[in-house]
């Protein structure tokens, strides 16, 4: 990763757009970047520019700001295919030993909530991010609006997924940026659910066709399943947090494909549910037993390391875990569509075993 270091001219504040492009350039893995490579970075730094007729002029002004700050140098050769001319290549400075972002941070009159920026080890791009937050706090700090994460991200940075990439960085943490400070929260994706009875069990199905077959089977078979949900594949890793909004659900049973992804999904969802104090996500054992007894393993999968296979299969419990682990290490899988409507109709005594 290349370090972008301001020179003596950088003792002023970057514009928000220039700061965002500086942040993108900090992630660049070479010291030079061609104009064709720069355009996608600029699109991420300033998404709104894509629809503006001044897009090229905006990039020219942003490059000029970075040059004035000593963060890049530009080639003598110019792209003159449109106006204004643009350099065909930018060069980033070599990594510097000094904490060069400190001068940029000292030039900012920080709000009390961000005073820690003066002593933190930050990159130039991070200083730019904090400048944007600083201006927002100045102008909107007394407001009371609370927006979901992607709405706040668009509100702050002009890009709905910017906060997603920042939350895992050193900018966030105790006494730093928090979701509360930004008046935002992670909205739980909705979990598509149908009510099929009055029982306490929520049965979650990975794929849509099996969801439909089981929904119809449950409509004619008395069980303790009160709700059936479509997990929508990997979406359930996040939508599991919506389980708490369902009334009278005390038991969550999951049924999915027998492959690495199909076992990772409920394992990850179970961990999230545990953190939030939600009902444990456990396997629908009768349905998995039915799949193992009737499925034809499909080869052609990437073999899973035995240790990882055992880790994934453990969630199933014995005796299914052993058979599932052998499938994974052997590079095979069994799709949950094996348990089709015809099989469900003739094996009720098997799959109902732990749903009653």
Q: What is the mean pLDDT of the chain?
A: 89
Angle between helices 124-140 and 16-26 in degrees, nearest 10: 150
**Can you tell me the mean pLDDT for 114-136?**
90
Domain ranges of the chain: 8-91, 101-185, 193-351
pLDDT reported for residue 3 = 40
Name the more confident of 6 and 98.
Answer: 6
Confidence of residue 313 (pLDDT cuts 50, 70, 90): very high
Architecture of domain 193-351: 3-Layer(aba) Sandwich (3.40)
| Cis before 326? omega within 30 | no
Spatial contact of 188 and 238, defined as CB atoms under 8 Å apart: yes
* pLDDT tens readout for residues 214-270: 999 999 999 999 999 999 999 999 999 999 999 899 999 999 999 999 999 999 999
Higher pLDDT, 128 or 229: 229
> Among residues of the chain, what percentage have pLDDT more than 70?
94
Looking at the structure, give the CATH architecture of the domain made up of residues 8-91. Answer: Alpha-Beta Complex (3.90)
**Which residues, including other chains, have CB under 8 Å from residue 201's CB and lie 6 or more apart?**
223, 224, 225, 226, 227, 249, 250, 251, 252, 253, 355
Q: How far apart are CA 94 and CA 5, in angstroms?
A: 8
At residue 52 the predicted structure's pLDDT band, cuts being 50, 70 and 90, is: confident
Is a pLDDT exceeding 90 seen at residue 47? no
pLDDT band at residue 46, thresholds of 50, 70 and 90?
confident
Residue 86: phi and psi, rounded to 5, are: -130, 145
In angstroms, the CA 336 to CA 234 distance is: 15
Q: What is the pLDDT of residue 97?
A: 31
User: Nearest 5 degrees, angle CA 76-CA 97-CA 122?
Assistant: 90
Q: How confident is the model at residue 193 (pLDDT cuts 50, 70, 90)?
A: very high
Comparing 8-91 with 193-351, is the CATH topology the same? Answer: no
Whether 136 has a pLDDT exceeding 80, the answer reads yes
Three-state SS annotation for 242-287? HHHHCCCCCEEEEECCECHHHHHHHHHHHHHHHHCCCCCEEECHHH
Q: Kindly indicate the confidence band of residue 294, based on its pLDDT and cuts at 50, 70 and 90.
A: very high
**CA distances, 97 to each of 5, 91, 210, 222, 257 (Å):** 10, 18, 59, 71, 51
H or E segment and range at residue 217: helix 208-218
pLDDT, average across residues 170-191: 91
pLDDT of residue 13: 60
Model confidence at 36: pLDDT above 70: yes
Does residue 202 register a pLDDT over 90? yes
Alpha-carbon distance 283 to 286, whole Å? 9
Are the C-beta atoms of 221 and 348 separated by less than 8 Å? yes
Region of poorest pLDDT, from 21-35, 84-98, 329-343: 84-98
Of 211, 206, 203, 260, nearest in space to 233 by CA: 206
The predicted pLDDT at position 11 comes to: 39
- Cα 47 from Cα 158, distance rounded (Å): 6
Give residue 9's pLDDT. Answer: 37
pLDDT at 230: 96
Quick one: pLDDT at residue 94? 67
What b/e string do you get for 290-319 counting C-beta neighbours within 10 Å, with b at 16 or more? bbbeebeeeeebeebeeeebbebbebbeee
Nearest residue to 131 (alpha-carbon basis) of 42, 123, 72: 123
């Amino acid at each position: 990763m290349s370090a972008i270091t301001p020179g003596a001219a950088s003792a002023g504040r970057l514009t928000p757009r220039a700061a965002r492009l500086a942040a993108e350039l900090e992630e660049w893995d070479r010291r030079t970047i061609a104009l064709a490579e720069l355009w996608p970075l600029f699109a991420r730094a300033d998404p709104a520019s894509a629809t503006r007729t001044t897009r090229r002029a905006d990039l020219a002004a942003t490059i000029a700001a970075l040059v004035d700050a000593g963060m890049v140098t530009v080639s003598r050769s110019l792209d003159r295919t449109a106006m204004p001319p643009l350099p065909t290549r930018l060069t980033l400075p070599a990594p510097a030993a000094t904490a060069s972002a400190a001068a940029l941070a000292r030039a900012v009159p920080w709000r009390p909530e961000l005073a820690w920026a003066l002593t933190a080890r930050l990159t130039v791009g991070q200083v730019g991010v904090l400048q944007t937050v600083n201006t927002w706090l100045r102008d909107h700090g007394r407001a009371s609006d609370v927006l979901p994460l992607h709405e706040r991200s668009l509100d702050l940075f002009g890009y709905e997924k910017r906060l997603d990439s920042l939350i895992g960085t050193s900018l966030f943490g105790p006494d730093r940026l928090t979701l509360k400070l930004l008046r935002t929260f992670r909205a739980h994706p909705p979990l598509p659910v149908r009510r099929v009875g009055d029982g306490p069990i929520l049965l979650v199905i990975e794929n849509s066709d099996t969801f439909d077959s089981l929904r119809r089977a449950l409509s004619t078979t008395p069980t303790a399943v009160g709700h059936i949900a479509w997990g929508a594949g990997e979406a359930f890793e996040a939508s599991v947090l919506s389980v708490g909004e369902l009334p009278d659900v005390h038991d969550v049973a999951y049924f999915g494909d027998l492959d690495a992804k199909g076992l990772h999904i409920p394992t990850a969802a179970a961990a999230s549910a545990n953190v939030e104090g939600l009902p444990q996500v456990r396997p629908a054992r009768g349905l998995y037993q039915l799949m193992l007894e009737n499925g034809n393993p499909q080869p052609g999968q990437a073999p899973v390391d035995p240790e990882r296979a055992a880790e994934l299969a453990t969630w199933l419990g014995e005796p299914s875990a052993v058979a599932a682990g052998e499938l994974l290490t052997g590079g095979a899988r069994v799709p949950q569509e094996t348990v089709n409507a015809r099989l469900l109709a003739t094996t009720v005594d098997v799959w109902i075993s732990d749903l009653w």
